[in-house]
Structure 1
Amino acid sequence: MSNQIVARIIGRFSKIILYIITVISYLKNLSSLVNKKHKKLAVKEDFRLSQKGIDWLEEWNTEAEIASSISQIAQKAVEILVDVPGMTQAHSRDFRRARPIFTLKDGTVIKIFINPANVKHIFLADSNNKMLFGGYVGWIDTKGLNQAIEKIKHSLTSTS
């Protein structure tokens, strides 16, 4: 990958780290509510919610297995995606939630995940279902992502 692509990915990765820190801080505050001794019924409810929050955080933060190499075709797809305005590196935890939409000439699978906030994520998986790329755009840039997906589909699949 070019230095410019790597720099963009690293810059956006730092945003994800800040989000994770915010979530952890929220969960710590939630668990501190559990320690209050008054309102016994509320404490029991808060404790269950706190454990659910911790379980969710562990599952949410489970990394996907990352591929160690990338084909030239997959690299072209990544270059198309990185050029989409607003493209931000996605956390690999959403990789397993993504559903395949098509396959490139080399066997790379293009996968889509739309989170509960209706934010579209795109992932590339190699033929062994290891993650090659993960990114997302905000609502305002979804049209650009859709155009990039169509460009990849028309130029890098076996039907092209």
Structure 2
Amino acid sequence: MSNQIVARIIRRFTKTILCIFGVILYLKNLSSLVNKKLVINTYLNEVMKVPLGFFEEDFRLSQKGIDWLEEWNTEAEIATSISQIAQKVVEILVNVPGMTQAHSRDFRRARPIFTLKDGTVIKVFINPANVKHIFLADSNNKMLFGGYVGWIDTKGLNQAIEKIKHSLTSTS
């Protein structure tokens, strides 16, 4: 392949990715979508300055793609109260080196690993980049806490999870 063809492919790919991220951010801030396709085309044309018909030949954002974007941006329902046991767990977790607040959209992707004495569920999600997330859910599956650590701090998170499991579950 010639350098010109490779450069053209890279430019097209980069522009497409930037447009997709722009659409994601734009959709996240919309309170209601009356005509999703119209909104996306308008956004691409007016905000990203992509000419109408740019994607007609080789890219169409399908309804499945739009649904995925909306699902990806759906936030979890947050609990309004927290038990004393769950408070202890949060204190343990926030003291793990590297702990960072997780986005609530990953809450529903997390899988339960054990339940505490008070019914609080400890859930874990590992994203495609292999970053470990931990979430606490109350007995109604509402989010109490969400955090993650980078690769370098995963060992500390695993130790905290084991500490919580051995000291605050009903089998302890």
Common fold: TM-score over 0.5: yes
Please say if 1:33 is aligned against 2:45.
no
Superposed CA deviations along residues 47-85 of structure 1, whole A, max 9, x for unmatched, are 324766543332111011110000000000000000011
SS in 2 for 1:147: helix
Who is 1:90 aligned against?
102
Deviation at 1:159, TM superposition (A): 1.4
- How many angstroms apart in 1 are the aligned matches of 2:80 and 2:9? 17
Cα distance, 1:94–1:55 mapped onto 2, change above 3 Å: same
Q: Could you tell me whether the CA contact under 8 Å between 2:99 and 2:147 is conserved in 1?
A: yes
Superposed CA deviations along residues 1-45 of structure 1, whole A, max 9, x for unmatched, are 9999999999999999999987846999999999999xxxx8336
Q: Could you tell me whether the CA contact under 8 Å between 2:126 and 2:133 is conserved in 1?
A: yes
Who is 1:60 aligned against?
72
Deviation at 1:139, TM superposition (A): 0.6
Q: TM-score, normalised by structure 1?
A: 0.71
Q: Could you tell me whether the CA contact under 8 Å between 1:13 and 1:89 is conserved in 2?
A: no
Higher relative CO (Cα under 8 Å, sequence separation at least 6) belongs to 1
Gaps of 5+ in 2: 38-53
Q: Could you tell me whether the CA contact under 8 Å between 1:112 and 1:120 is conserved in 2?
A: yes
Who is 1:100 aligned against?
112
Deviation at 1:115, TM superposition (A): 0.7
SS in 1 for 2:78: coil
Bigger radius of gyration = 2
SS in 1 for 2:82: coil
Give 1:35-54 correspondences, 5 Å limit: 43-44=55-56, 46-49=58-61, 54=66
Instruction: Report percent identity of matched pairs.
Output: 91
Superposed CA deviations along residues 77-100 of structure 1, whole A, max 9, x for unmatched, are 000000011111111111111110
Alignment RMSD (CA, Å):
13.6
Q: Could you tell me whether the CA contact under 8 Å between 1:30 and 1:46 is conserved in 2?
A: no
- How many angstroms apart in 2 are the aligned matches of 1:140 and 1:49? 37
The answer to which of 2-11 and 15-24 deviates more is 2-11
- How many angstroms apart in 1 are the aligned matches of 2:100 and 2:8? 8
Cα distance, 1:126–1:135 mapped onto 2, change above 3 Å: same
Q: Could you tell me whether the CA contact under 8 Å between 2:86 and 2:120 is conserved in 1?
A: yes
